[in-house]
Each structure stands twice: as C-alpha cells, then as structure tokens.
Amino acid sequence: MEHFKDHLKKKIVSELRLIFNGADFKLNLGIKNKSDNSIVTIIDTIISSLVKEEIRKIDEFKDFVFYSEEDHDELEFPCIVLDPVDGTRELSQGLPECAVSLAIMYTSRINDERNWGWIFNPFSGFEIDSKQDFCQAQNANKNGLMGMVSRTEWDKGLYIKKTDNILIHPKGSIALKLGLLSAGAIDFVISKRPKNIWDIAAGSIICSKRNIKTWQDKSMVLNLDYKKFEAPLVWATEEVFTLLKKDQI
C-alpha cells in the first residue's frame, strides 16, 4: 500500500507540473466562478478526477467513499478526503500559498494509525505526509511562539498582531499552514471561520502523528466526522495551547 501512495503522489505531482510549467500559467488554470461565487480552476477538476480514477483501481479502496470539494455527497467511512487545491484564491493571484490536501481515512478518528494524510505545495515542492519519520521536539519555545492565520481573517482585523511573546502571521491555505506546523516551521494555527473536512483532514492527521492536537473552542477534537467544523479552531500541542492567550483564540 505504501507503494500505491507513492505512485499516487507522483501522478499528482507530474500532472501539476505540466500545468504550472506551461507558457501561460494563468490561462492553464482555467479560472471560473461557481454558483456560490467561489473560485474553481481546471486543476480542481483534473486532480479530483485523477485521484478518483487511481483509487478505483485498488481493491482495498472499493468500499471507500470519495469525498472531494468538487465531488462529494454523503460523508461516510471509510473514505478518501481530497481538496485538489486548497487556497484557490491565492493560486489565482499567483501566490505560492496553496496545497493539495489528500487523506485516506479508514475511520473518523484522527489518531487511527491506519489513516494517512499528504500535503503538497506545487509552487515550492514542499510536501509532508503522516508516514514520514521525525524526531519529537521535547519542549516548546516559551520565549516566543509564532502562529499562522487566514489572510482573509487577518485583513478583517480578527487578530491582535502581537501580544507579549506571541506573534501571528497571515498566510493562505489552511492545508499549507497545517503542513508547515507539522514540519515545525511554526507553533500553532488558528481559524476563526468554519472549515470543511476536505480543508483540514490531511493536515489534522499529519499533525496528530506529531502530537499536535486539533482543538475546537476549548475542547480537543478526536473525530473528523462532520462535513464542516465550526470555529474557533486551533492546532497546537497541549503545551502551546495552554500558552495561547484567550484573546488570540
């Protein structure tokens, strides 16, 4: 099965490079507006179709529900949860703040050892998955925590820019932010707006493998069993979560 995951990642990366390395990148995106005025690109359709087609070739996944931003109905487990391009608005602006977010979920439990998540940024080539080896850090840097939040939320003034030893930085794509958090680049991620499961499934699974918890308000989220999760949402270790000030969350 690890071989199949590697194969699937390579197929997605190869397809994205054909688009991103084209002579007219924005034309290749095929940007359109959906009925709710949200943006969709040709990448969303291509990657969603590619993953669905590859998954259906594997007998182990024949009973898995396919749940993608561009192809979804009922959320049932086991399932494949995909956001072909998280951070579409940033992508349409040519900003490198987007990511593919893919999760294979045998159950809704975030810490189920069988569950797998992968995040990939097509601009930088940054990627991380839940099966990668890592060394657990022993402590948080209490002298200066740094976190990331949504650009949209930042622009609306929903955050205090800096308090004491806590610094907050805006960046698009919740999936990319969770990937960077998992990689140790930052200490926490906060969202003050609801998130769909395809936005956060892969990132929450990867974070969980590194002892980074998902919090909703003040409670730890153990299961990803809803289509949409209400805010506020925080991803942080228990130690960091207790250090965050109430007015930041």
Tens-digit pLDDT profile for residues 111-137? 999 999 999 998 899 999 999 887 777
Q: Which residue has the higher pLDDT, 135 or 9?
A: 9
Query: Over 80: is that where the pLDDT of 93 sits?
Result: no
Last residue of a domain, one of 129, 162, 191: 129
Last residue of a domain, one of 105, 129, 153: 129
Question: How far is 240 from 243, CA to CA, in rounded Å?
Answer: 5
Q: What are the tens digits of pLDDT across the range 185-216?
A: 999 999 999 999 999 999 999 999 999 999 99
- Token reading at 232: 């506020």
CATH of residue 227's domain is: 3.40.190.80
Last residue of a domain, one of 129, 163, 180: 129
Q: Are residues 228 and 154 in the same domain?
A: yes
pLDDT of residue 162: 65
Q: Are residues 66 and 15 in the same domain?
A: yes
Q: Are residues 92 and 200 in the same domain?
A: no
pLDDT of residue 37: 45
Q: What are the tens digits of pLDDT across the range 60-90?
A: 999 999 999 877 878 999 999 999 999 877 8
33 burial level (CB within 10 Å; 0-12, 13-18, 19+): exposed
pLDDT of residue 218: 86
Q: Are residues 113 and 174 in the same domain?
A: no
Q: Are residues 158 and 202 in the same domain?
A: yes
pLDDT of residue 246: 67
Number of domains in the chain: 2
pLDDT of residue 42: 77
Q: Are residues 116 and 172 in the same domain?
A: no
Average of per-residue pLDDT across 107-111: 98
Q: Are residues 96 and 215 in the same domain?
A: no
Q: What are the tens digits of pLDDT across the range 162-184?
A: 667 888 999 999 999 999 999 99
Q: Are residues 190 and 104 in the same domain?
A: no
Range of the structural domain that residue 210 is part of: 145-243
